[in-house]
Structure formats: C-alpha cells, structure tokens
Amino acid sequence: MSNAIEVLYFVQQKSPTYIQSMEEELDESLFSSTITASEEAMTVLEEVIMYTFQQCVYYISKCLYVSLPALLECNPFPNPSEGREGWRASPPLPEELRRVVLTYQEVLDLLRQYEVHPEITSQMFAYLFFFSNTLLFNQLLDKGSSLGCFHWSQGVKLRASVRLLLEWLRGAGFEQLAQQFFAKLASVANLLAMPGSQLLQVGEGGGKLWQRDGKQLQQRADTTSSSPSAGEKRGALILPHAAGLLPGSATLSPIHPRASQQCVLQPGQAPSGRLRAL
C-alpha cells in the first residue's frame, strides 16, 4: 500500500508533464495510447490502495471484535492487597485494556515502519476508532444489564477504563480522533458513573424544563391560532422530542471493509516516505 501510494503520487504529478513533452515526438495514435495507459495505471494503483486499505481495516477490526467486549467488565483499579504503594505508583494497564491498546500499537508500528502517508494512517485509525466505539456501545445496550454495567459501581469502573484508553490514545498522538469517535461511549460511561441522587436531580430538573417549554409552546400556539381566518382550521401542536437520546438513534452499524471509497491521496498531497520493498 505504501509503495502504491508513492507510485500513484509520482504518476499524478509527473506523468502529465512527461506526456506533454512527448506530444511532438509521437504520432497521434501512439500519443493517445500513452495517455490511456497512464490513466489505466492510475486507476489500477487506486484500486490496489483501496483494496489493501479495506482489507487491513477488516482484519484488524476482527481482532478488535474479540478483545473489545472484555472492557465492559474490566476493573482498572489497583488491587487493595497491594497496599498504599500500589495506589501511589502509576498502575499498569489492566489485561483487558492492554490487549486492545496492543492491537492499536502494532498497527501504528507497522504503518510507521513502512512509511505509510500520515493521511492514510489517520483515516485508518478513524475507521478503527469508529468500529471500537460502535461495538462497545452496542454491546453495552444489548448485554449491559446482564453484565451488571448499569449498576453504579460497574459504571465507575467503565468510566475509569474509558479514561485510561483515551489517555493512552492521547499519548499515541490521536487525541482529536479519539475524542471525536469515542464521544458517545465516554458520555454513556459518565452517565452510568453518576450517583443515583444526582441522576434524580437531573431528572427532576429536566422534567420541569420540559413542562416549562411545553407550556410556552402551547401558549404561543394558542396566541397565533386564537383568531383563525374564515375556512382556516386550527393546527395541532407537535412538541419536539429528544431524538438524540433515544437508543435506537444512537446505535451505529459496525464497520465493513467496503464502507467507504475515500482512502486515497488527493492530487497535490506529497507522500512523506521513500519507496520500500514489502
């Protein structure tokens, strides 16, 4: 994939100039064949990059599919038997979390080893983070009750695990991508870790807010429709609903190796590395 990106960039940048310089030396048919061959070469290179990218994401996501669900039952806190020193020192990552970040690290090391363009690296991790967030979120909705994730104590553990994961990703240089694609999971973890008394206060406040807004909307509807013209019927008031809070609207579809077609360099983007033999 790295070599194909380098060659594609070279063809995109150098081929037009090279072909133009040969225009006077070649007859019309041969010149036309040269242009066609150049276009076909770029098409083949784009397909190679696309296919390799998709297959990499697909097989990496299969590895994550096995290791990610264990995060929902992970206990990130040190063992009390280790004493106070265990709390003071920076604790190692739990085994469940270590398997996940090890997969990310191996992918990052390979991409750097073969000097894959940074834009392609960023896009690949965007796919992986999207898949990770989707899988954990859907697992939480489907199996959270049976796993005890909806209890406050387990919610605190889940929030700590998510924070450890985000801290590791920030250290690896993916802070912005991680915040973008793990926002939904982090929000749910924060909600599950919220004490019950605080949830009741939020619920009461939210109910009062909806009642106040609903009353204001009803008053406005009554005011605007109190004097309808002849033949005009009074319309029904439709109150807004919190679509973004419904589980159905928050559930995402898992990633597929052919989910997108935007993983090739645009003209003008220079690769950062040299050609390497795979």
Q: What is the DSSP string of 182-198?
A: SHHHHHHHHHHTS-HHH
Decide if 274 contacts 6 (C-beta within 8 A). yes
Decide if 74 contacts 163 (C-beta within 8 A). no
Whether the pLDDT of residue 263 is over 50: the answer is no
- Of the segments 5-9, 71-75, 121-125, 224-228, which one has the largest average pLDDT value? 121-125
**pLDDT, position 84:** 52
Give the HSE-up count for residue 259: Cα atoms under 13 Å, Cβ half-sphere.
18
Domain residue extents for the chain: 1-77+91-196
Whether the pLDDT of residue 217 is over 50: the answer is no
Whether the pLDDT of residue 206 is over 70: the answer is no
**pLDDT, position 90:** 58
208 pLDDT band, cuts 50/70/90, is low
In this predicted model, which residue has the larger pLDDT, 218 or 34?
Answer: 34
What pLDDT digit, counting tens, does each position of 50-89 carry? 999 999 999 999 999 999 999 998 888 876 555 455 444 5
Nearest alpha carbon to residue 137 among 202, 195, 169, 183: 183
